[in-house]
Structure 1
Amino acid sequence: MDLLRSMEAFVLTVKTGSFAASAISLNTSPQMIAKYVVFLEDYLGLKLLNRTTRSQKLTEFGKQYYEKCLFILDEVKSSKTLAQKFIEEPKGRLRISAPVSYGHFNLISVLSRFMRCYPKVNVDLQLSDRYVDLVKDDFDIVFRIGELSNSSYIARKLNSYKLIFAASPTYLAKNGIPATPNDIKKHQCLIYQYVNPTKKDYLWPFSVNGKVINIPISGSLKSNDTLALANAAVEGLGITMLPQSMLSELIHQNKLFPILQDFLPPAREVHLLYKSDKQQLPKLKMFIEFITNSM
């Protein structure tokens, strides 16, 4: 027989003064209430109630046990309330991975708004352009740029990632402004080389008459850091192809000038990935909803 249920029946019997009244509260029969009390007495090896045909009075032990039952049942209720609150309230650590430039220039502003809305969520944001695995690297959320490979993870599509071409006014004044994609072959291009640092041939994609054309580029500076390439462009070392979100402020400040705007690369897809979980915690559920509504 259920020990906690028996305690509850015993407490109600004391409070109401009869098996019949406590049976109504527990939606059962007076006979079942009596069985609960007898079970407790057998379990404890001591009598709880002195019963007569007209009344039921607590024994000396029954008085002490009644107080103990009140405490235990209150603790059980509190623990259930705590569990329910944990289920409903976003809290705890949220471990997130995102590409470096996307994290700096797209994600962090949205993330700061999320954390103001849900201050009990602690975010561990890891920015890296390397491929990470949700399970092996222990992440709750991963942001991916580009086409997705087949996986068992759930993917939510976000706003596309736009790339643009730009150079400093100083560089363009000295070397001229390219008018067509083929003109890029004559220029110093600032090359992002993280994917394959030993690669010798580099291609930039251009949209021409609805088609994507890859044109070989060359340049004296290569780097695995997009921010370094943006700064190099500002210093006049060449033309860069980087995210619009990263270069927009530099363009606004006239430190860079956008070029070849009629031939921009196709926007790259962005997805948010997470593991399938039927009992998704509030911190993850609310983050997914917040991001997909904001980005």
Structure 2
Amino acid sequence: MDLVKCMEAFVITVKTRSFAATSISLNTSPQMVAKYILFLENYLGLKLLNRTTRSQNLTEFGKQYYERCLFILSEIKNTKTLAQTYSKEPKGRLRISAPVSYGHFNLVPVISHFMKCYPKVNIDIQLNDRYVDLVKDDFDVVFRIGSLSDSGLIARKLSDLQLIFAASPSYLARYGVPAVPDDLKKHQCLIYQYVNSNKKDNLWPFKINGELINVPITGSFQSNNTAALAAAAIEGLGITMLPESTLRESIKQNKLIPVLQNFLPPAREVHLLYTADKQRLPKLNIFIDFIINAMT
């Protein structure tokens, strides 16, 4: 028998002093109300009501149990109200993971707008170029750049990320401006270190006459952090290949100059990933829709 239902019947019976009135309130029979009370007494091993043909009064234990039932039923109602609130209004924390430069230059401006629209949502965004596990690392969503492995997660495609080549004016003045991709073999290239990569050769991709060509490159500076590569390029250490959004401001300030603009590499795919949970809270559903509308 449903324990909560029995507690409700007991509380109403105490208030109305009548099985008949309780049965009307619960849309059942007086006999069923009596069974609810009897079940509670058997469950607890103590009498709750002293019943006579004319009245029923609380026992000493029944008085204390009645107070506890009022509290418990009130808490149950509060938790239901809380659930209903969460099902209607986005609130609470969202934990997000994204690559460093993408998060800084592409994502944070959009998230800033999102937070103005939904001020009760708290954002915890972790920017890191390493691979993170959405479930094990306790993230609500992750942003990934490049091809995806079959992870069992739901992937929503966002706008592609265009890569460009650039170097500082001082570097180009000293070593010359590459005219074609093969010229890179004579230049210092700033190499991105892919995490868990087994690559032995460093290759930069180009689209030439619609065909994808990989050109081997070398360089004395490597990093797994795009911000470090951009800074190294500004300092004149070599040519970098990074997202246009990462280098845009430095190019505007003439700290970097784009090169090989007729031989841009293929754009990189960007995906928003999350678990296939049918009971997602509104804060996550609304965030996903907001990002897709803003970034596709």
TM-score, normalising length: structure 2: 0.80
CA distance in 2, matches of 1:103, 1:267: 17
8 Å contact from structure 2 (residues 51, 57) kept in 1: yes
CA gap 1:216/1:37 in 2 versus in 1, 3 angstroms: closer
Please give the per-residue CA displacement for 1:195-222, whole angstroms capped at 9, x wherever unaligned: 5899764322122222222223334433
1:125 alignment partner, SS class:
strand
Q: Which runs of 5+ in 1 are unaligned?
A: none
Listed as ranges, the matches of 1:1-295 within 5 Å are: 1-16=1-16, 18-40=18-40, 43-52=45-54, 56=55, 58-59=57-58, 61=60, 66-85=66-85, 94-115=94-115, 117-119=118-120, 121=122, 123=124, 125-128=126-129, 130-194=130-194, 201-295=201-295
The structural deviation recorded for 1:89 is 5.5
CA gap 1:26/1:263 in 2 versus in 1, 3 angstroms: same
1:44 alignment partner, SS class:
coil
1:152 alignment partner, SS class:
coil
CA distance in 1, matches of 2:137, 2:71: 44
8 Å contact from structure 1 (residues 50, 59) kept in 2: no
CA distance in 1, matches of 2:37, 2:94: 47
CA gap 1:179/1:24 in 2 versus in 1, 3 angstroms: same
What one-letter code is carried by the residue in structure 2 that aligns with 1:44?
A: L
- CA-atom RMSD in angstroms: 3.3
CA gap 1:35/1:216 in 2 versus in 1, 3 angstroms: closer
The structural deviation recorded for 1:40 is 4.3
CA distance in 2, matches of 1:72, 1:146: 52
CA distance in 2, matches of 1:222, 1:59: 80
- Stretch moving more, 29-38 or 39-48: 39-48
8 Å contact from structure 1 (residues 41, 48) kept in 2: no
What one-letter code is carried by the residue in structure 2 that aligns with 1:36?
A: Y
What one-letter code is carried by the residue in structure 2 that aligns with 1:125?
A: Q
CA gap 1:16/1:268 in 2 versus in 1, 3 angstroms: same
Percent identical among aligned pairs is 66
CA distance in 2, matches of 1:121, 1:255: 36
TM-score, normalising length: structure 1: 0.80
8 Å contact from structure 1 (residues 165, 258) kept in 2: yes
CA distance in 1, matches of 2:220, 2:213: 23
Please give the per-residue CA displacement for 1:63-113, whole angstroms capped at 9, x wherever unaligned: 665444433322332233344445656555544333232233223333444
1:156 alignment partner, SS class:
strand
8 Å contact from structure 1 (residues 90, 121) kept in 2: no
CA distance in 1, matches of 2:256, 2:102: 20
CA distance in 2, matches of 1:200, 1:10: 75
8 Å contact from structure 1 (residues 9, 33) kept in 2: yes
